[in-house]
Amino acid sequence: MNSPKLIDPRLELILAARHFYQQGWMVGTAGNLSVRLPDDSFWITASGRSKGELELGDFVRIYADGTVEKPSPDVKPSAQTVIHQALYTLFPEARSCYHVHSVEANLVSRFVQGDTLPLPPFEMLKGLGIWQENPDCAMSIFANHSQVSCIADEIKERFTTIPPQLSALLNRDHGVTIWAPSAKTARNYIELVEYIFRYMVAARGTGFCRAGEERE
């Protein structure tokens, strides 16, 4: 028998957050998830919520005109709402944005000093939309600023000039953010990029480095 269809899009985010929390990628209150609706508003996790135990009341709805709908006056939207807004504006096909913090994402963000991280030419990149054989692919890295709007401005500026190869970006010493055509795809993207980061960290530890990840 088919499983019942999930009606409220927040349910998919609650399940994804619980899964990421169990992986150790959303410990404490780290990370935020959003899903865009047909009217171009989006649901985003409220700020400071424990991501392992989200409920329907732990979301804020942001409308295209900037109106914010909260379940109660004390609830604030995620501190990173401006980044989700920037990505939805840049990429009209994006319907969901996920941001998580893993140990590996932070380690690989220091493998290079510049603003792109070369990735191994993995088969798994197909899951992120890269279909070339032996792809020469890199992920954009952005500096972390305490003022989140500065990160969002840099994302808008860079991606308007140089479109990213992947639907993913790294915030140095902070975590990864991906955008995808659906919430289910967003979950896959997070799992894929986290696999790639784990591989890169493990490869360094064993001294086994493939093209694109040589030691400095």
Task: Give me the least distance between CB of 108 and Zn ion, in Å please.
Answer: 16
101 is in an annotated binding site: yes
Contact 30, 105 (CB under 8 A): no
Task: Give me the least distance between CB of 87 and Zn ion, in Å please.
Answer: 14
List interacting residues with ligand MRU (CB under 6 A).
28-32, 45, 47-48, 78-80, 99
84 is in an annotated binding site: no
Torsion of CA 195, 45, 183, 129, to 10 degrees: -50
Burial of 145 (0-12, 13-18, 19+ CB in 10 A): middle
- Residue found by looking up tokens 């401006």 in the block: 82
* Coil, strand or helix at 96: strand
With CB atoms as reference, the residue minimizing the distance to Zn ion is: 175
Residues in Cβ contact with 95 at an 8 Å cutoff, skipping those fewer than 6 apart: 35, 36, 180, 181, 182, 183
Task: Give me the least distance between CB of 136 and ligand MRU, in Å please.
Answer: 30
Q: Which one of 118-126, 128-136, 172-180, 193-201 is the stretch in contact with Zn ion (CB under 5 A)?
A: 172-180
116 binds, among ligand MRU, Zn ion, none (CB under 5 to 8 A by kind): none
Closer to Zn ion by Cβ: residue 86 or 125 = 86
Contact footprint for Zn ion (CB under 5 A)? 175
Binding-site residue ranges for Zn(2+): 99, 101
Binding-site residue ranges: 99, 101
